[in-house]
Every structure is written in C-alpha cells, then in structure tokens.
Structure 1
Amino acid sequence: MDKYLDTADRNWYKHRLVTAMIYVMLAFVVLGGRLFQLQVLEGEEFRRFSENQSIRLQSIEPPRGLIFDRKGNLLADNRPSFDLSIILKDAGPAEMTLEKLSKYADIPKSQLMSKIRAGRGIPSYKPVLLKQDIGRDVLAAIEVHRFDLPGIVIEVRQKRFYAQGRTAAHVTGYMGEISAAELSYWKDMGYRTGDFVGKFGVEKSSERFLRGKRGGRQVEVNAKGQVIRVLRTVDAEPGQNIFLTIDQELQQKAELLMEGIPGAVVAMDPGTGHILAMVSSPSFDPNTFIGGMSHREWNALISDPFRPMENKVIQGEYPPASTYKIVTAIAGLEEGVINRNTTYFCPGYHRYGNNIFRCWKRSGHGSVDIVKALAGSCDVFFYQVGLRLGVDRLADYAGACGLGTLTHVDLNHEARGLIPTSEWKEKRMGVPWQKGENLSIAIGQGYNLVTPLQMAVLTAAVANGGILYRPLIVKKRETVEGRTVYRGDREIVGRLPVSRKNLDIVRKGLWEVTHGRAGTARVARVRGLGISGKTGTAQVVSRKRKSGDRRVRSLHLKSHAWFVAYAEPDDPRIAVAVLVEHGEHGSGTAAPIARELIKMFMGFQGVPDVSVVSDPGDVPVLYEFSGGPFF
C-alpha cells in the first residue's frame, strides 16, 4: 500500500513538473517571439524612435558675407545675437514653463503664447523662436534658472550690423525675416522659417552669394532636452564678402550735401561704369529693420511724402528737362537738321499756330548757334530742332543714348522711365501725336521720364567719347580666405549714336555752360578745375500768366532741379547727376552740390569763382491759352 502511494505521489509530482515546464517553455517562446518582433521585425523603427528621443540634429547658421566699400572700409558686419526658443517636446507642461520664463525674462506670458500659436505645424522636437536678441541680462537670468526651464534653449546666431548707419543705406539695403513667398522661392537653398534674408539693395540682389551654406551638428540630449555631448559636426560655409564700387568718403560727402534735401545724387567713373556714390535723400537706418519695428514705425516710413524707402537714383522717374537737350542736340546734328553754324533767333518766345511757347529767358537770347544754345539753354533753339526732327526720331536717339530703358545696374527694382513715341501715345491714349507736342518733348518735358542713373550713364558717355557702360555697384566678391571669385570689370553696352566731330560740338556747349559768359551754371565754375555740365528745371505743374508770381509757395508744386556734369574734359574721371526734388533751379540748388562733390573727388582745394553770378536758371515758363498749357 505504501509502495502504491509513493508511486502515485511521484507520478503526481512528475505531472505537475512537466506541466510547469511546459508553461515555462511557452512563456520563453512568447518572450522570444516578442523579442524577435521588437529587435528584428520592428527593431529599425524603434531604433529611430530611440534616437529621436536622445539624439537631435541642430542647425548651424552660416556667417553672412561682409560688405565693404571699394577701399575696404566695412559697411555691413555681423554680431552675435542670443535668440530664445522652446522645444515643446522637452518642456513638460508648456504653460507652466512659459509662466516661469515670463517671470525670469520679464516677457509677458501672452506674448510667449502668441509665438507658440504662430509656430503651429513645427515638429515638437524642433525649436520655436520666442524672442530674438534677448540681451545679456536676460541671458544671465535664464542661465541661472536653467534647470527650472526644461525645453528652453538659447541659440547663438549671427545678426547683421551696419557699421556706418545710414551711410549708403539704399545701396547696401537691409535684412528682414523671410516671408512665406520668399521661403517658397528659396526652399531649395535650405532656407527655413525664421531665417533673415536681404530685402533691399545689395543685401537682396546678392543674397545667394552673401548667404553661405548651412551646417549642422548631431548632439545627444537628456530627458530635459539639455545637450550632453556633441556626436558629429558639419561646419557651415561662410558667405562671400562683397566689395562695392562705392567710395565711402565720397558717399558721406554726398549725403552731407543732401542732408535735409529730398532728391538723388549719383557719381560714376566714366571709364569703367563703377558707381562712386549713390545717394537717395531722405535715407533710413537699416539697423532698425534687424531688431524688428512696430507697425507704427513702418507706416511712418512708407507714408513719408519724401519716400525714404525708395532709391530715387534708380526708382525715381522725373522729366529730364533741359538736360535732355543733350539728346536733342545729338539727334539734330546727326540727322543734318542743324550743323555747327546753324543759328536761330530767340526773341524770348516761339509762336506755333495760335499758341506761344516761351523761352525761360523772357528777354530772349538773340541769335544763337548750337554751342550758345546749350550754354544758355535756349528753349526757342531746341523748339526749332524738335519740330524738324519729330518725336519718333528723337525717341530713337534717346533710346540709343540709354534713356527710357533699364541700365541693368546690379540692384533690384530699377525703373525704366519713359521715352514717348507717336505709336505709344496712340495705343495708350487713343489719340494721335500732335506736332506741337514735339516742342515740349525737345526740351525734356511732356511725357519724358528718366531716372538719375540713366542721366549719369549718358553724361559719362559724353565725357568718355561716346561709350555707354553698364553701371556697376559690385566691384568684386571674395571667399572668406580672400580668394577673388568675381570681379566687376567694365562692360560696354553700347555707344552714343553720334560722330566724334558732332560729339565735340556738344562737349563744347557743355563746357560753355559753366565757363561761358552766358552759361546757366557759372556757379559751378571753379578756377583751375574743368567742369562741364548741363542744368535743367523740370516743371511739375503749369503756371498761369495772370498769377504774376514765378515762385510757387507750396513745396510740392515747385519744379525739380537738375544738374549733370563731368570733369575734366581731357581726362574725365567722374560724371555726376544731381536731382533736387522741388529745388526750382538747376543752377541754384543742384549745380553747387555737383561742384562740391567733384572738387572732393578730384582732391581740389580751390573755391568757386565768385566773380560770376549765376542766372536764375533755365526755367521753362508755362502759360495757359485756349489750347491748354504750353511751354
């Protein structure tokens, strides 16, 4: 009996043991299968997930290329900026973290939350920018409380700094945060939301060269998102440094001369096309755009009636007035309408049909030839030439002289201007060209519109013997190591449509403008310095004869003042175009500015020839008759 019981107990224990082993084996099979699933079948996915939890990729912004003047003076530099961001994945309860951050950084919580809402759509493991350029005091406060601020990171970026402030602001331009449209355009170049890009000037036109190439680093972070160690780094490639053709000293002199005066000044090397100075007045400080400005500040800029945000040198379109007589003279000589000995009598007016077109000089110039007509800016002489040429022949010559067409300067948003033709008027207005309109067109009024840069290019071509150069702003580009990758060599785009013989006649007339007894710009005469030029007074509104007052009280109704000039005639080194908005007389306001600019560039210490007194200027006077206002 005992033997039977022992056998039964052993079988029972054996059965229980086998059952337990089966369960253990089944458990191991299940665990093994699960391990196989996790490590083999889904291992790659979990590995990526694990790395995303502990390994991050951080972007390294490339240092933006610097901008210098032609002599190496620094115009646009970079400085470090401490930008405050949050990684929502690491921030725990984001609202609690932001509440602490608001207290430590003295930033309203509502402002921080608005940044979070604006960053919707950004992956939770990527930083959302909360505030740029926080300053060292805020930086110190955040560093002290870093362990209370999970997910809060400080990114050190390069921020643009314009060392000379307003100097050459319209040339260098400014930077701003990338827009949605720009991001779409530049997305293949590695741009991201929050990046800063050039918005104007060289900053914009040379963006792809200044930008550089983004780098990055692979880092390991802890549960709070804090960097434990750097695993791998790919250095960013700095952008190219740009040397402009601008001469900083000449630029500052031009800006000083234009201080408080709305208008434009551009100086050009007649032998290369290099722009030596480019001033649009009033100007702005490009540094104000870097830190961001309020809507009120921006609206104040764009609503300013003197248009500080417009580069008037390339965007301003003005009637060329009597400076256009250079083109009329070239066309008349080349077409055989006049020659060196052709004379017309100027009694102070010209009668055409039932209308009278006045000369700016009421008493008249008497009998004048082409040289005297240019020197004294005789309207009656050029009325006669314009009638014989017609609008279409004049337009052909104006276009060949570079007017009414883009100069293709290496800046964006250049205006084309307008040189009218009979076909243009019929298409635009539905009425044919009237022959009487040739009179106003011939002296640079009517529908004619040019930019100051176009007039500078024309003046430079007259100075150098007839070669039209493309105006250049960028002298060269260099890598950070100093290797030149681009050089702005002179580029011929055409020639003036005039023989050397006839061009010399025109040049003689321009010399007499400043040196002749009847010249309209004798105020620009400087003993020992050969300046040739041409004045112009572009009327903005017609004036009725019965008013009896030649001065218009309201500034915006006053005429624009022009003066184009070059020096020296035998060895031209500089050509200048000056436009003073509502400055009335070219001789009185624009010519002195050009004179002082040329004196500085030529290193001339002489003083103006005070023995001469300038005439009021070649002011075209409008009178109103039954047919409307005429010159």
Structure 2
Amino acid sequence: MKNSGFNPLIIEYYKRRFKFAVIIVAVIFTLLFLRLWYLQILKGQLYRLRSEKNRIRLNETPSIRGKIFDRNGLLLVDNSPSYDLYVVPEEIRYPKETFNVLNRFVKFDLKESLNRYKNNNRLPFIPFLIKKNISRVELVLVENHRFSLAGVMIKVRPVRRYRYGSLASHLLGYLGKVTKSELNAEGLNLSPDDMVGRAGIEARYNKLLMGVKGGEQIEVDAMGRRIKVLNRVPPTSGYDLVLTIDTRLQRIVEDCLLGKKGAIVAMNPRDGEILAMASSPNYDPNIFIQGMDINEWKSLVSKKGAFLQNRAISGQYPPGSVFKIVTAISALEEGMIDTDDEIFCSGKYRVGDTVFRCWKRYGHGPISFYRAMAESCDIYFYKLGQRLGIEKIAKWAKELGLGRKTGIPLPGEKPGLVPTSKWKLKTYGIPWQIGDTLAVSIGQGYLLVSPIQMAVMISSIFNGGYIYQPRLIKEIRPYDKRFEKIFEQKRRKIKVKAKTLCVVKRSMIHVVEDKNGTGRRARVKGIRVAGKTGTAQLISTKERRSKDKDISNEIRDHAWFVAVAPADNPKIALSIIIEHGGHGGSTAAPIAAKIISEYLRWEKRDV
C-alpha cells in the first residue's frame, strides 16, 4: 500500500508554532498600540510644542547702545561695527583645510579653534565663531577669497568704542560680559554674549543706555536651515546721555595727574555740576570690549596702583589741614573764638606726657585767626580743638556733609569717617583721648574724607551755604518725561550763619594772597582765588624731620588743596589730592592755579 505522506504529528507541530507566532505578533502590535497611545494621547501636547519649537526659531537682533557726549556736544562714547568670522559646519567638507586657509588671512589660534570646533555640539547649520572683530585688512582678504571659502561667513555687530581711550575712564566706566546671576534676573532680557555696564556712567545708567532688543521669528527645517522669516520686531536704540563734564577741562585735569597717583574734582559750586573728574592711574576701557580670560583679568587688577579704583569718590584719606576749615566753623559757630583773639604758638604744645608739634618748628609766635588760617598754624587749631571737644567738631563736620555719601550718581562711592568717642569705644573697645581730639582738629587721626566730599563742602561755603548733590547728567536724548527726576536739583541748606561763612571765605583768600600764605602758589593773575592747603601725614612730624629727604615714597605725606575761583563770583570749585605728593602748598596748589586759569579763560570766551 502506497504512503500518502500525511503526518498528524507534523501538522500538530506547525499548529503550535503558528499559535505562538500569532501570540508574538499580537503582543508586538499591542505594545506598538500602547506606545502610540502614550505618544499621541498622553504626551501629544508636549511633542506638538517641541515640534513647533524645532520648526520656529527666534533670533535676537541686538540694540544699539546709547552714545555719551560731553556738555559741549563732543562725542565721547559710541559704537563701531565689529566684523566677526564664522563658519557653517554643514557647508564645510574639510574643516582642517578650511581653517588652515583662513589662518593665512586672519590671525587666530588654529589649534584652539579646531579643538573647539571638534567639540561643537550645535546643529550643523548654526554658525561657529572663529574670531571676533577681525581687522579691516583681514576682512578684505577674506572677502576677496569668498568664492574659494565655502561655508565661511562674516557677521556684523555693534561694539562699544571709547573714542579718546583713557580720557575720563573712571567716570565713563567700561563694559563686561553678563554674569550667570544677571542672565537669570527678571526684566533684563540678557543673552550669554551680552555686554553690560561694569563701572561709572556705563553701570549707573546701564538700562537707559542698553535699549531694547529686537528679533526675528524664523521658520527652519529639521537641520536648522532657514526657510523664511515669519515675523520681525526691530530693536530700539538706547538713550543718549549728555554729561556735565567739559572735555577741554578734563584733558587739563588729567594732564596734571600724569605720572602721579591721586584725584581731582572740578565742580560748579552754584549748582553741583561736575565739570571734570579724574583719578590716576587710569585705564583704557576699550581693553574690556573683546573680553579677557581670567589670567589677563588677574594681571590687570593686580597691577600696582589700583588702576580701576576711582579715587575721586572711593579714595578715603585724612584731609590734613584742609579740615581746619571745619574746625574754624565749629569754633565760630560755638562762640569759642573771636577773630582778633591771639594764641601763642611756640612750635609745640604739651598735653600730659605727649608733645604736639606745629609744622613750623620754632612756631608762629602770637597769632590770630586770619593769620592762623593763612599760615596753617597747627598749635592754634590744636587749642581750638581742645576747647571744642570731639562731639562738637563731629557735629559740624557732619553738618558740612562729611561722614556720608554725597549721592553722586556713580557706583562705588565711600562715605568717609567722622569719628566720635562712641565710635572709638564701639570699634576698638577703648575710650577717646584728648590727643585724639587734637589730631582730628588738624585733619589727622581717624578722620577720613574723599575728594568729592571736599569739593561739595568747599562749594557750600561760597554758594550761600548749600550742599548740592553732585550732578553728572545734563540731558537725556530723546527727551522722556519719565526721567525728569534725574535732573531734579537736590540741595540742603547748612545751618551755619552767614557771618561765619563770610569770615571763613575771607580767611581762605588770605591763604592764597598773603605773603606767607601756604596757598600762595595758587595765585592767578587777575583772578581772586580762595583756597586751603593740606598735608596729610602718614608718619609723625618728628619721624618726618629725622628722615627728611631720605623718606620713602610709600610713607610720604599726601598733598591736598581745595580752591574756589573767582572768590567773589564762584564759577569753579576744586578738590585736589596727590598721594605721597608732600606739601599741599608746593605740589597741589600750582595744579589748582593751572586749572583755574585755563578754565576761566575758556568760560569767559564761551559766554
């Protein structure tokens, strides 16, 4: 009998295999269904948003930072185009060769750039930066070879330009890269590559100067290729600022500080406008524009001389004999002296076991108020200070604006220090001594002031008794009513009698005009100058005399001079400090004469 070939065992085997296959397929389809349900139902909205974000890209358009002018309309700070070199990764077949060719035309660190390029994780159509701010010559070379440089592109962006380098650098300030905390701050709308004000006017009025960014809403494909612009919002430029400073005077002031450490403030005593402000040594704000690494920054800030410090507002110094103006006002207001009363100066004054000396070794002999101010007799003011006591001296010093900030619209101002017995006990845990009072009465000891404070104080004596808040902004362009408060004149009347002010003004004229006046080197032909010298000692009189000319510069006295001119119709007030400059009369007073003569010559011609 012939075999039919039918085997029930084989059929049963294939039936089981088929059922198993059906189950596997069913499980796979079930899993696929569940995944689709998860993606489309549970996570559908999330992925739709992601899809939109991948399809639509927002590109920022930088705003143009506002310009800064001086009071005469001279442009001090503006913006210049920066030509930045980029490559588009998607369009470069041989990166190493392309970078080598570019390096022939543009100077950059080839190895560092290639390493950054290899580690670049951005989309292939996002431009990769090679170098910022290439030179005009480099730009021409790249443009001339563009046809052989596939994937190379130039982007133009505005960068800050300080047209006169270091001129008024501490007043203008500089820009620096935005920090992480600033990026996260609300309302600033900053990007990682943005530059913001870090000092001076640039920092104080950063929001006004920045403007508002614009932007483009661009449709792109999955590779980041630009398809079309969907929407465009133009940027709004920042406001322009017109300052109160006169560049001509600023140049003279800075020239007077060349090779020296110190500060000069020139102010209009009638309204508080700052006419010039300089701190030395200074710096060029342009060095910050392209950014610097941490080592370059450390090198800059560690340079001897504290280049970045604005000594005019943050330098705190003993005022020396300039403070005798305060002691004089205190004694006159408290009825402690009459201008005709004489005090005998033998050159030294003993209090207990301590001998206090006058700068004039053998003394001035019998001396009254006007001569004591003119010749800056220390013994006269020691005795006034002893009569007054520290609390009364401190009271009038604070009334004249010392020991507090002036309110000048710049970051970093320091308040100085007017010490009292309570302050010393709290700070050092020891009681106030009579010797402390005598030291303060001639501007030594714990007392500290800034040049801007001295300018404000001296102005108040000659403007009818008003402490003005210093002003730096003369105009904001275009006009905006919201900023009117910036121009509000803030002043305070000091509680000093007019008679007292007249006596002190007359005494300061004697300082300059008397034959033996310590400020006689501040005389200007045809102009009545009033002033007061100061020599802030860093070591004792006895030590200074013993070392004489061998004394090192680091412990040499600071030279002060404050002045107002013309004394009968004040137009300029000056506060000058030269660190380790020696005597105020020989170092700072001649500087005042030069500044006053130049400024009043211009001022007369400009009227």
TM-score range, shorter chain: 0.7 to 0.9
The CA RMSD over aligned residues, in Å, is 3.3
| 1:287 corresponding residue in structure 2 | 286
What is the alpha-carbon distance in structure 2 between the residues aligned to residue 532 and residue 201 of structure 1? 31
Under a length normalisation based on structure 1, what TM-score does the superposition of the two structures give?
0.82
Residue of structure 1 aligned with 2:525, choices 505, 527, 535:
527
Aligned position for 2:172: 172
Given that 1:401 and 1:495 are in contact with CA atoms closer than 8 Å, whether structure 2 keeps it comes out as no
1:111 deviates by 2.3
- Matched positions, count: 566
TM-score (norm 2): 0.85
Are 1:213 and 2:209 matched, yes or no?
no
Q: Which residue of 2 aligns with 1:29?
A: none
SS in 1 for 2:549: coil
Deviation for aligned residue 1:133: 1.4
- Native 8 Å contact 1:332 1:385 kept in 2: yes
Q: Corresponding residue for 1:576?
A: 574
Amino acid of the structure 1 residue aligned with 2:132 = Q
Match of 1:417 in 2: 416
Structure 1 residue aligned with 2:444: 445
Q: How many angstroms apart in 2 are the aligned matches of 1:178 and 1:605?
A: 41
Q: What SS does structure 2 have at the residue aligned with 1:589? A: helix
Seen in structure 2, the aligned counterparts of structure 1 residues 552 and 490 have a Cα distance that, compared at 3 Å, is farther
Q: Is the 1:244–1:474 Cα contact (8 Å) retained in structure 2? A: yes
Q: Which is further off, 432-441 or 215-224?
A: 215-224
Q: Matches of 1:605 and 1:93 in 2, distance apart? A: 62
**Contact kept? 1:386, 1:439, Cα under 8 Å:** yes
Closer, same or farther: CA 115–603 of 1 in aligned 2, 3 Å: farther
Give the equivalent residue in structure 1 for 2:63: 62
Equivalent pair of 1:513/1:519 in contact (CA under 8 Å): yes
| Match among 592, 599, 603 for residue 590 of structure 2 | 592
**Secondary structure at 1:252 match in 2:** helix
CA contact (8 A) 2:92 2:98 kept: no
Alignment of 1:489-568 (within 5 A): 489=487, 491-542=489-540, 544=542, 548-568=546-566
Q: Distance in 2 between matches of 1:553 and 1:361?
A: 19
Give per-residue Cα distances to partners, 1:221-249, cap 9 Å, x unaligned: 57775545444210000000011111000
For the 8 Å contact 1:91–1:224, the answer to whether it is kept is no
Q: Which residue of 1 aligns with 2:30?
A: none
SS at match of 1:438: helix
For 1:603, the equivalent position in structure 2 comes to 601
Structure 2 partner of 1:355: 354
Contact conserved, 2:89 with 2:125, CA < 8 A, in 1? no
C-alpha change, 1:190 and 1:402, in structure 2 (3 Å) is same
Taking a change above 3 Å as real, the CA distance of residues 547 and 504 of structure 1, as seen in their structure-2 partners, is closer
Q: Distance in 2 between matches of 1:359 and 1:543?
A: 8
Q: Report how far residue 604 of structure 1 moved.
A: 7.6
Which residue does 1:100 correspond to in 2?
98
- Note closer, same or farther for the CA distance 1:49–1:449 as it changes in structure 2 (3 Å cut): closer
- Structure 1 residues 367 and 199: CA distance shift in structure 2, 3 A: same
Distance change >3 Å, CA 449–CA 58, structure 1 → 2? same
CA distance in 2, matches of 1:388, 1:339: 13
CA distance in 2, matches of 1:153, 1:486: 45
Which range is displaced more, 54-63 or 190-199? 54-63
SS where residue 187 of structure 2 aligns?
A: helix
CA distance in 2, matches of 1:373, 1:604: 35
How far apart, CA to CA, are the structure 1 residues paired with 2:361 and 2:445? 21
Name the structure 2 match of 1:133: 133
Change (3 A) 1:127 1:188: farther
Give, in angstroms, the shift of residue 138 of structure 1.
5.0
- Matching residue of 2:301: 302
Letter in 2 for 1:161: R
Shift of 1:55: 4.4
Letter in 2 for 1:218: Q
Alignment CA distance shift 1:99-1:427 (3 Å): farther
1:102–1:108 CA contact under 8 A, matched in 2 = no
Secondary structure of the structure 1 residue equivalent to 2:112: helix
Q: Residue 584 of structure 1: SS of its match in structure 2?
A: coil
1:349-370: per-residue Cα shift (whole Å, max 9, x none)? Answer: 1111122111111121222222
Residue 541 of structure 1 deviates from its aligned partner by 2.1
Task: Give matches, 1:312-351, under 5 Å.
Answer: 312-351=311-350
Secondary structure at the aligned position of 1:219 is classed as strand
- 1:395-406 → structure 2 map (5 Å cutoff): 395-406=394-405
User: C-alpha displacement at 1:498, in angstroms?
Assistant: 1.3
Say which is worse superposed, 551-560 or 574-583, in terms of deviation: 551-560
Residue pair 2:125, 2:225 contacting (<8 A) in 1 also = no
- 1:303 shift after superposition: 2.2
Structure 2 equivalent of residue 392 of structure 1: 391
Q: What is the percentage of aligned positions where both structures have the same residue?
A: 40
- Paired residues for 1:152-163 under 5 Å: 154-163=154-163
1:142–1:533 CA distance, 2 compared to 1 (3 A): same
Q: What does residue 73 of structure 2 align with?
A: 72
Whether the 8 Å CA contact 1:463–1:575 is kept in 2: the answer is no
